[in-house]
Structure 1
Amino acid sequence: MRNTKSPIAETAVRQIAALYAVEATVRGAPPEIRLATRRQQSAPIIEALKPWFEKQLSMISSGSQLAVDIRYALSHWDGLTSFLDDGRLELDTNPVENAIRPVALTRKNALFAGHEVGAENWALLASIVATCKLNDVDPVAYIDETLTAIINGHPKSRIEELMPWQFRKISSQIL
């Protein structure tokens, strides 16, 4: 929501800043702790914010940018508040966007690989490495163990078991 220097926008920004302040206290904590803290501290802010938005919407010009912003927030309310139901979720998408930015840069760099097949392979490898990093998996160990499993006859029908988020299970089965 843009701060239009209106009292309504300033109040909304203060409430949203309060949500980010709560998030700062639980950043890096286990999901259970994040969820408990959010339910105790963030839920009351959210519960008060929705009816407040609805009331403000009825008092401002329906064509104003502030009304557009409030309607957007209200129409996406379930998604915007889903962090209150799952401690693994972030308040916003910034961590995900920061995590995938290198993948997008690598994809652009792959355009200069010299050959279409080389660029496709580069992009594929970059995607595997990025997925491993997102799942706290060592990419070299993952690729090594996955190729070993394939060479040893891992069935195609169970390919899901070879995904990076399943790596710890693969490691324990191979070792």
Structure 2
Amino acid sequence: MKEYERARFGKRSEKFNPDQMQLVLEDIEIAIAEVQERQDDRARRAGTAPSSRRTRRAARAFPAHLPRIEQVIEPENLECPCGCGRMVQIGEDRSRRLDVMAAQYRVIETVRPRYACAKGCTGVAQAPAPAHLTEALLAQVAVAKFSEHMPLYRQSQVLARHGIFIDRAVLADWMGTVAFHLAPLVERMSVVMKQSGRLFIDETRAPVLDPGRGRTKTGYLWAVLRDDRGHGGADTNRGLPLRARTRW
């Protein structure tokens, strides 16, 4: 709580970055949940009702496109205790919880048969080789790096835990290839956005390593966003990195 008060009411120079504040709150909330779960576990072992002090959350509205798996749990015995026969259903309770299927890597084995004349009077026919990488794998690495800020060396470690050993330099080569092929799309987005009547631009400074000098240099990142919905416009939400440079 002292850290929280310092972040809210302390001097501006001492305030937390908003992301750092989220880390503090996460630690506090995790500690609270751990204590509550310990109390509930003791209550269950003692045969009493769990504590009702748990935070009550509203039912989550999950996206409609997610696949649904329905599990129906029937009572062990549907025979009426009074002996009048089988009970009839009068209603039901439904609860929903979010689940996830762990990422599953797979190997795509491409076979290109070669054909030739049975009498040996012509050349060999064979289909051209397709691209060696799959779009899904490239998209996953790119999104993890540029949207979720997961460095390539950490992604290499994640792959290694699955028994897939891909060096960071190889992943970097993949991202360079992706950047080259996406450049026309980014340029087109830039042209379309600059035709808008209203743009929002954010500037972020970040320390950048300066090898050989024993210190860091100041880097600048710019992002531009178009979202005219709040101003009565018809332009849809769109954004892209505008440019980045380093001040030496």
**TM-score range normalised by the length of the shorter chain:** under 0.3
TM-score by length of 2: 0.19
Structure with larger Rg:
2
Higher helix share: 1
